[in-house]
Structure 1
Amino acid sequence: MDEIQKYLTEELQSAKEEKENLEEQIHKIEIETELICQAIDKIVMNQDATSLVFMSEEEFQGFDGTEIKKLSQKKTALAEEKLRLQQTVSQTARRIAKLERLLKQSTGKLKEDSTGAKKVYNTYEVIYMQEADRQRIARDIHDTVVQGLTALIHKNEFVGKIFETDKQRAQLELKKNNNVIRDSINELRNIIFDLRPMSLDDLGFEKTFYTAIEKIKGTTQMVVKADYLCDTDSMNPIIGITVIRIIQELCSNSIKYSKGTKIQVTIKQDKQNELLILYSDNGEGYDLNKPTDCTKNNTGFGLNMMRERIALLQGKMEVCYKDGELSYTIRIPLDTQKI
């Protein structure tokens, strides 16, 4: 539970800093907008304001009319950016309120535990809240960032203006813009998958498991083999997403630190209705007697969070390094009533 409090505290601090940064950006936009308004007023005051009303479009493009138009366009762009930032601030404020509520609840439950009373907090609910928050982040990225990148298409309007005078350049710019859009959207889809594999809801755990393995294969030259040996694909989504997170963390550590050449991941279901995760690599491993042992006092945040996830699901993890092979055996009960 200490790890959960630490996680919530860090997330809360990060969210508050993000909100302050956004509010500072909004303040700067307001100042810049005010300066633009003053500049426009100054230009208009230096001219015959009456004559501006009767100017044709061609006349307005001349002298100070062009400058007024540029400033007005910039003012509009700043207004749109301010609106976007204000929406993000509102989302961050809701997130802060939620984190403060969760932190207060976890603190109260810790006090109950410290008196020797029976543990009453619902660890299953804690993980559910964490995953619900990740799902929200994935949705926000999709609805805001992707839409923002899609706005790059509007730059094609500029290309349309030069199309008649320089068709070759226009076609080249169009191609570049479209490639940037496609690459950005594909990258964001990968981020969304990491935050919340949507295939878990649509296609089931087995398909999501193999999809995650394929993505891992694309990030390393290590040989990654995977086997799913369960008789059923039916699994509680909270357990499913936790297992995916565990496998991703283990593979990430092997790729970064093991200096090995192969990884083996096997998922089984034993007679006690427990999910059995068998993981191994042929890397350097580590000394299990030292504090770096992930089953003891590892200071790495990733492995600590993985260990916390397993504990919250009432699972167990064993680590062994023998004959040049580091192996993990993780057991997680599939019966949610035991959690």
Structure 2
Amino acid sequence: MADRLGEIMKKTLLAIETGKEEIFHIAETSRTETQRLTQELAQLRMDISETIKKVDQLHKLDRKMRQHLMEVSRDFKSYSEKEMIESYENAKETQVQLQLYEAKEYQIRARRDEIERSLRQMMVTIERAENLMSQISLAINLLQSGINEMTQDQNLEKQQEVALRIIMAQEEERRRVAREIHDGPAQNLANIVLRLEITEKLLELDPKQAKIELQDLKTLVRSNLQDIRRIIFDLRPMALDDLGIIPSLRRYMDNFQSTYKIECEFIVQGREKRLLPAMEVAIFRLIQEAMTNVAKHAHSEKVKIELSFEEDITIARIIDFGQGFDFNAVLENPGEHFGLIGMKERVEMFSGQFSIISPTGVGTTIELSIPYKKEENLE
């Protein structure tokens, strides 16, 4: 029976992985189509602008031709037959041109509106595909975990619960990084490509404006590079390996203060120690998660971070001066505060202590303490 169930789970896993590839293909196709439509939309907007100018010119010319035709009709004795015919034909030709350009303007506007609707639908499709891929990834991980447990003949409920929480945390982190890249560098790069194509056309029509556009693009590229470096730093601060946790935290707080306009005060107490890499990463991530919560929920203008190196323990405190919240209610119903639960579990994995003091309207103090063995001290 177990073998049969294992075989079914493997086939199910294969089918889900195939479906995930199809969804990924749909998302990538939608992104490509979105980029194409965005380029077409930019061109249409330029065409609309030029057509509107032409229609305005033809309206003025039409009024002039009509006025001249009325003068010819009133004083026809003063004009030759040839002049009268020419005046009529010019007025008629102007009317025809005006009607043609008005029809062109209507068609371009209709196409523009259609593309804008398609772009909105594409964005919804991409978002749904990304969410679905995340859910499928979670399902795949769960199935793989289940298959491994059956293979190893393990069926411990606690291990399954911890594994599920780890998987959910990993998927949430992947979604966060994907959203950050999609909303930041990916969008900016698509915009840069589009504006470069427009600048190519401007080089022939208006070199001066093209030069201004290139200067703006240079600024945008530099800003995009800063965003990419920040994302890389958030994923794995390279300074953490080379210099340790203090320089890494100082750099993170500089970025945090610049991004969220929240004043950061960093206090180090005791003699700094180089901890085991896993502990340094854990402390950095815990402080990072706490700071993210401050930015999202605290409504505080300042945050204070204290890091204390004691004889056999490292203590970190993150103190904000915002609105506070009921932590007991969060424990009973985590909802969107899964990050706090994850912080508590991560601290407990290192045999540490985690506490939150958060009186409503006063602010929040998060304290975590992680012990280390003497042989682990890397001074």
Q: Same fold (TM over 0.5)?
A: yes
**Aligned partners of 1:158, 1:260: CA distance in 2, in Å?**
43
**Amino acid of the structure 1 residue aligned with 2:230:** N
Give 1 or 2 for the bigger CA radius of gyration.
2
**Amino acid of the structure 2 residue aligned with 1:103:** S
Post-superposition CA distance 1:198-253 (Å, at most 9, x none): 22123321100111112222234443211122523412222222222211222222
Tell me which of 278, 291, 303 is aligned to 2:317.
278
**Aligned partners of 2:206, 2:309: CA distance in 1, in Å?**
65
> CA, structure 1 residues 16+225, in 2 after alignment: closer, same or farther (shift >3 Å)?
farther
Which is richer in helix?
A: 2
Tell me which of 290, 312, 317 is aligned to 2:349.
312
Is the Cα–Cα contact under 8 Å of residues 303 and 320 in structure 2 kept in the other structure? Answer: yes
**Aligned partners of 2:269, 2:299: CA distance in 1, in Å?**
28
Tell me which of 202, 205, 226 is aligned to 2:245.
205
Is the Cα–Cα contact under 8 Å of residues 273 and 309 in structure 2 kept in the other structure? Answer: no
**Aligned partners of 1:220, 1:28: CA distance in 2, in Å?**
32
Partner of 1:103: 145
> How many percent identity over aligned positions?
22
Is the Cα–Cα contact under 8 Å of residues 209 and 244 in structure 1 kept in the other structure? Answer: yes
RMSD, matched Cα = 4.9
TM-score (norm 1): 0.55
> CA, structure 1 residues 216+157, in 2 after alignment: closer, same or farther (shift >3 Å)?
closer
> CA, structure 1 residues 333+112, in 2 after alignment: closer, same or farther (shift >3 Å)?
farther
**Aligned partners of 2:21, 2:283: CA distance in 1, in Å?**
32
> CA, structure 1 residues 271+106, in 2 after alignment: closer, same or farther (shift >3 Å)?
farther
Is the Cα–Cα contact under 8 Å of residues 258 and 285 in structure 1 kept in the other structure? Answer: yes
Which blocks of at least 5 consecutive residues in structure 2 are unaligned?
A: 1-15, 33-132
> CA, structure 1 residues 154+203, in 2 after alignment: closer, same or farther (shift >3 Å)?
farther
Partner of 1:298: 334
**Amino acid of the structure 2 residue aligned with 1:169:** Q
Tell me which of 269, 281, 291 is aligned to 2:309.
269
1:251 aligns with 2:291: yes
**Aligned partners of 2:306, 2:241: CA distance in 1, in Å?**
22
Partner of 1:231: 271
State the aligned residue count: 248
Q: What is the Cα deviation at residue 197 of structure 1?
A: 1.5
**Aligned partners of 1:152, 1:29: CA distance in 2, in Å?**
16
1:328 aligns with 2:366: yes
Q: What is the Cα deviation at residue 177 of structure 1?
A: 2.7
> CA, structure 1 residues 15+229, in 2 after alignment: closer, same or farther (shift >3 Å)?
farther
1:193 aligns with 2:233: yes
Which blocks of at least 5 consecutive residues in structure 1 are unaligned?
A: 1-13, 31-91
SS of residue in 1 equivalent to 2:339: helix
